Structure 1
Amino acid sequence: MTETALPPTAPLRARAEIDLAALRANVRALRALAPGAALMAVMKSDAYGHGAVPCARAAVDAGATWIGTATPEEALTLRADAGLPDDVRIMCWLWTPGGPWREAIEAGLDVSVSAMWALREVTAAARAAGAPARVQLKGDTGLGRNGCQPGDDWAELVGAAVRAEAAGLLRVTGLWSHFACADEPGHPSVDAQLAVFREMVSHAERNGVRPEVRHIANSAATLTRPDSHFDLVRTGIAVYGISPSPELGSPADFGLRPVMSLKASLALVKHVPGGHGVSYGQHYVTPGETTLGLVPVGYADGVPRHASGSGPVLIGGKWRTVAGRVAMDQFVVDLGGDEPEAGAEAILFGPGADGEPTAEDWAQAAGTIAYEIVTRIGTRVPRVYPDDNRGTSGTGTVPGRDAKRSGT
């Protein structure tokens, strides 16, 4: 999330263009799909690689009233740096013993508690801070990750939280859980988890918990399961215009537009004879006389090495494929005799509206999911915000346009 200033006229080896107008439109579309619920825009992992501060501002501008992060450090940074209105709630959920509980309380964050050790630590921090903590109790309804188990464990946690609330040490602001298979249409676990969640909520409310919000819907459930919306939906990948899975539908099917475009400038174009090896291991050998283009990004920038020989790139209006292995800082494409100039644009992925590959295309090429493609784009690739009229610290101007840049 560190922002860096670049010389105003510096050429860009590579850049990730972040379309904040598309992000705002995505938030509005998601709100329309869950009109009876508040919307949380999840900004974990530096907004899935898009830049948390400008993306959080844009999401709130479009009507998000909650911001979600994984770690407390992410949440604290957003509270300090994003300039969000005081009534925008920020929640964080991935805690380990000894975490910054007091700092979170003093910053007014909502913190997730899944076990007695965490409840003990947050109440101790509340005593030290002289202020009650905002606590959301998480139940494990079947995902098997974080969250308190149903039954006796949940009863113990709820009972202890109610007693701590009566003592003025905390306010139970939420009850929540997370789906395991909402991105798989018709998976029986979705209904099973909903039933468990309703029972866990019912138990907590029978025992005196009065939450502000109850929530279990992630992006996939927000898009496809209105019966799971409750009081709040937590939208992560969908905010950035990426479908949670191809099986659910494309982004366009839900009125969403991908937010990130990854582009680079060709570093070299050269003629080579047939039989010429390309990149480490020479897994690609030119079938005849051709031209090769050098794209100056590699796995250190987040281009997946698993996409060697298969990753798609748009150059000169044509789809090309990575030739041979992706190296740390660069990869090669066979241009088939075409001769674009050095400096010509290579589009690795974008919305797809102009024929360029998408993050989903790269996910298919690398045998992974589109979430990983966008979140792995590294710190050497500056984020460029052409339509960020809110401004960020450390900005420069892309030649020929007014734009904001920040490193992640």
Structure 2
Amino acid sequence: MSSPAQARVDLDAVSGNVALLRERAAGAEVMAMIKAEAYGHGLVPVARAALAGGATWLGVAKVAEGLALRAAGVAGVPVLAGLSVPGEPYAEAVSVGVDLVVGDRWMLDELAAAAPRAGRPARVHLKADTGMTRGGTGPGGWAGLVDAVLAAEAAGVLEVVGVMSHFACADEPGHPSIVRQLAAFTEMAAHAEKAAGRRLVKHLANSAAALTLPEARFDVVRPGIAVYGLTPIPARGGFGLRPAMTLTADAALVKRVPAGAGVSYGHTYVTERETTLAVVPAGYGDGVPRHGSNLLEVFAAGRRRRIAGRVCMDQFVIDLGDDAMAAGDEVVLFGPGDRGEPTAQDWADALGTISYEIVTRIGGRVPRVYTGGPDV
């Protein structure tokens, strides 16, 4: 489908980022986190590119994402779905080999009922709440959860694969919670392994920890944003990662307007002199933040231009001054920065948010166009 706006995704960049992360993991395996449509980049193509780069696990948030990977033929690799609610199609997930997270007793009960229907034990990872205070069971209830899960394993309905947790502040090097969470995870994982009588796969590190905390890598690291070439710790630089997404749009209209012309809704931008404006066919319906009005920059006609006036649902305007441009010419909203265009991190910095939000909010009507990647 032809579209005036598109998100170009460099799958070779994804593979290269995973290879870099695998090297930095220094012996730990890499679980590439591809939740939320691979952070907006495209679930299945990114999964294959991540595997080509050396990932040996794939991680998603929702059960439906794990099922979509299996339905697309992504097989022979563990897929972990980390966030569930009662009543999801667990028997189907178990039957196609999607690993699931048990952080509470209700999930244990659901999987114990689903496994017989699936005809095989459910592969599970126990989630410890080590201080994120979000998902998982904390130290007070940990022994009880471990005992209950191991009883279900003895009954043949579960297979305990691993123990996991999640950092709250790994992107803030030196934060005191990091040491506390590491200590709690080490103790809780040791308890689970002793109770099970065997080693379990231990995983805790997100992108920031995988890159900066060797002591947190354990058996598997779970990078997310770094897979896409965006830094988890902007103050520490780019870590050699390459951004994979370039968002572009072709100008819809270019015209001269007089001084004093109010631009877009609310006339929050008024031309200071006679100038040339270009209409760019991408708006908040495509994921361009409305609160980027009069703030975000794009790259057009050889240099950066600030959005002029309010971002609309389908379009925004830029002021070109006296520079030449024509309808159909390309505008780069963000990319890797090779040509001087803004990066997703630049947009995030301007808006006071994180690059994760910038790339994941690019909407479904913006087609993903892929370059590079494995020949599969």
**TM, length-normalised to structure 1:** 0.90
- Give the alignment partner of residue 286 of structure 1, picking from 264, 268, 271: 271
SS in 1 for 2:185: helix
Shift of 1:205: 1.6
Deviation at 1:245, TM superposition (A): 2.9
Give SS of 1:222's match.
Answer: helix
Partner Cα distance (2:55, 2:373) in 1: 17
1:8-407 maps to which residues of 2 (within 5 A)?
10=2, 12-81=3-72, 83-86=73-76, 88-151=77-140, 153-208=141-196, 210-247=198-235, 249-251=236-238, 254-388=239-373, 390=375
CA distance in structure 2 between the partners assigned to 1:338 and 1:354 by the alignment: 18
Structure 1 Cα separation of the partners of residues 331 and 275 of structure 2:
18
Identity of aligned residues (%): 57
Give the drift of 1:211. Answer: 4.7
Contact residue 49 and residue 374 of structure 2 kept, 8 A: no
* Post-superposition CA distance 1:113-139 (Å, at most 9, x none): 100111011011112223111010000
CA contact (8 A) 1:309 1:322 kept: yes
Check the 8 A contact 2:12/2:371 in 1, yes or no. Answer: no
Counterpart CA distance in 2 for 1:332 and 1:361 is 19
Alignment partners' CA distance in 2, 1:38 and 1:120: 30
Question: Match of 2:321, SS?
Answer: coil
Counterparts of 2:200 and 2:126, CA distance in 1: 12
Contact 2:163 2:189 in 1 (8 A): yes
Query: Residue 68 of structure 2: SS of its match in structure 1?
Result: helix
| Counterpart residue identity of residue 304, structure 1 | P
Amino acid at match of 1:198: T
Q: Aligned letter for 1:95?
A: S
SS in 2 for 1:205: helix
1:330-371 Cα offsets, whole Å, 9 max, x none, are 000111121201111100100012211000111122221100
CA distance in 1: counterparts of 2:233 and 2:19, whole angstroms: 21
Tell me the secondary structure at the aligned position of residue 44 of structure 2.
helix
Contact 1:34 1:222 in 2 (8 A): yes
Does the aligned pair in 1 maintain the 2:225–2:356 contact within 8 Å? yes
Instruction: Give the Cα separation in 1 of the matches to 2:206 and 2:24.
Output: 13
Paired with 2:349 and 2:311, the residues of 1 have a C-alpha distance of: 16
SS of match in other structure, 1:182:
coil
Q: Distance in 2 between matches of 1:136 and 1:305?
A: 40
Contact 1:298 1:327 in 2 (8 A): yes
> Is the Cα contact below 8 Å between 1:264 and 1:347 reproduced in 2?
yes
Amino acid at match of 2:305: R
Q: Aligned partners of 2:160, 2:172: CA distance in 1, in Å? A: 32
Q: Which runs of 5+ in 1 are unaligned?
A: 1-5, 392-408
Distance apart, 1:168 and its partner CA: 1.1
3-state SS of the aligned residue for 1:390? coil
SS of the residue corresponding to residue 114 of structure 2 reads helix
Cα distance in 2 between the residues matched to 1:185 and 1:62:
27
RMSD: 1.1
Count of residue pairs brought into register by the alignment: 376
Point out 4+ residue stretches in structure 1 off by more than 6 angstroms: none
| Partner-residue secondary structure (3-state), 2:285 | helix
- Provide the C-alpha distance between the structure 2 equivalents of 1:157 and 1:130, rounded to a whole number of angstroms: 24
Range with bigger deviation, 19-28 or 211-220: 211-220
3-state SS of the aligned residue for 1:348? strand
The residue matched to 1:137 in structure 2 has which SS?
strand
Q: Which amino acid aligns with 1:84?
A: V
Contact 2:6 2:369 in 1 (8 A): yes
Partners of 1:173 and 1:211 within 8 A in 2: no
Cα deviation code 1:221-255 (max 9, x no counterpart): 001001000000001100000001312x222xx12
Question: Which runs of no fewer than 5 residues in structure 2 stay unpaired?
Answer: none
Whole-angstrom CA distance in 1 between matches of 2:68 and 2:78? 14
- Measure, in 1, the Cα distance between the counterparts of 2:197 and 2:351: 46
Shift of 1:301: 0.1
CA distance in 2, matches of 1:389, 1:233: 23
Q: Flag the 1:387–1:208 CA change in 2: closer, same or farther, 3 A.
A: closer
